[in-house]
């Protein structure tokens, strides 16, 4: 009932009693509702981002101090709608302007958004900064970075990230890395990497077989794949 919530919010803003005015919690509830509308569609995110931006502006102008959750909501919204420069602007303003230190979510949203936009250099810088500050990247962040690096041709860097992930890696990421490697004529390297992942329990038997069949179907090297299956 988002429209009703916005209506109540407007009543709160116009109320003569200051104790009824919106608080940080009020704004955070609205941010959560807006961001939860449909985070799979960047166009929908773009539409709701206009409302989110207007609410944030009203929040600051009315003297209500944003907290880390508020600022992360803005970063997440900008990242989902692929307005990464705006997301980075909020991120760099967190401490000097609002007195809030970034947390793991701040970095996770940014790295994922930058990877979605193909900005792997910026994503890797923030990923490294995140870890240097003692934050642990989420599985989604690890997978996003590994896939983006692979699709950008940085295969060794992608393999390194997968190696750091261990069992957090998903099948889509493994398929992307192996697919990009084989697509660049490195089928033997791809099979070698698959065997290594299987031995280190990064892949289970079913996933290993699925990726092997994928190499055979796409690249048609039955002899090499047969050797890989025999090992």
CATH code for the domain of 1: 1.25.40.10
Domain shared by 11 and 100, yes or no: yes
Taking CA atoms, 58 is separated from 24, 106, 164, 174, 177, in Å, by 11, 22, 43, 44, 44
- Predicted pLDDT of residue 221: 53
For residue 204, give the CATH number of its domain. 1.25.40
Domain total for the chain?
A: 2
Q: DSSP labels for 92-145?
A: HHHHHHH-----HHHHHHHHHHHHHTT-HHHHHHHHHHHHHTTPPPPHHHHHHH
Judge contact between 120 and 152, C-beta under 8 A: yes
E strand residue ranges, the chain: none
* 106 and 153 inside one domain: no
Asked if the structure places residue 120 within a domain, the reply is no
Domain that holds residue 75: 1-115
Q: What is the three-class DSSP state of 152?
A: coil
Q: Would you write out the chain's pLDDT as a tens digit for each of its 231 residues? A: 888 988 999 999 999 999 999 999 999 999 999 888 665 555 556 678 888 999 999 999 999 999 999 999 999 999 988 899 999 999 999 999 999 999 999 999 999 999 999 999 999 999 999 999 999 999 999 999 999 999 999 999 999 998 888 777 888 998 999 999 988 888 888 889 888 888 888 888 888 888 888 887 766 555 554 544 444
Final residue of a structural domain among 65, 82, 115: 115
Tell me which residue has tokens 């449909």: 38
């Amino acid at each position: 009932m988002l429209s009703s919530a916005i209506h109540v919010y407007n009543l709160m803003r116009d109320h003569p009693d200051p104790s009824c005015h919106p608080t940080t919690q009020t704004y955070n509830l609205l941010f959560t509702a807006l961001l939860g509308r449909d985070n799979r569609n960047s166009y929908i995110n773009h539409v709701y981002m206009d409302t989110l931006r207007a609410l944030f502006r009203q929040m600051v102008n009315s003297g209500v101090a944003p907290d880390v959750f508020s600022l992360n909501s803005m970063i997440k919204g900008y990242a989902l709608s692929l307005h990464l420069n705006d997301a980075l602007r909020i991120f760099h303003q967190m401490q000097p302007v609002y007195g809030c230190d970034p947390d793991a979510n701040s970095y996770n949203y940014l790295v994922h958004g930058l990877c979605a936009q193909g900005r792997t250099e910026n994503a890797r810088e923030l990923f490294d900064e995140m870890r240097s500050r003692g934050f642990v990247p989420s599985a989604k962040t690890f997978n996003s970075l590994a896939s983006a690096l692979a699709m950008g041709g940085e295969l060794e860097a992608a393999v390194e990230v997968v190696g750091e992930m261990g069992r957090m890696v998903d099948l889509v990421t493994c398929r992307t890395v192996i697919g990009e490697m084989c697509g660049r004529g490195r089928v033997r390297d791809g099979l070698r990497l698959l065997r290594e992942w299987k031995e280190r329990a990064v892949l289970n038997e079913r996933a290993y077989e699925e990726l092997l069949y994928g190499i055979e179907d796409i690249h048609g090297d039955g002899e090499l794949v047969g050797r890989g299956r025999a090992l």
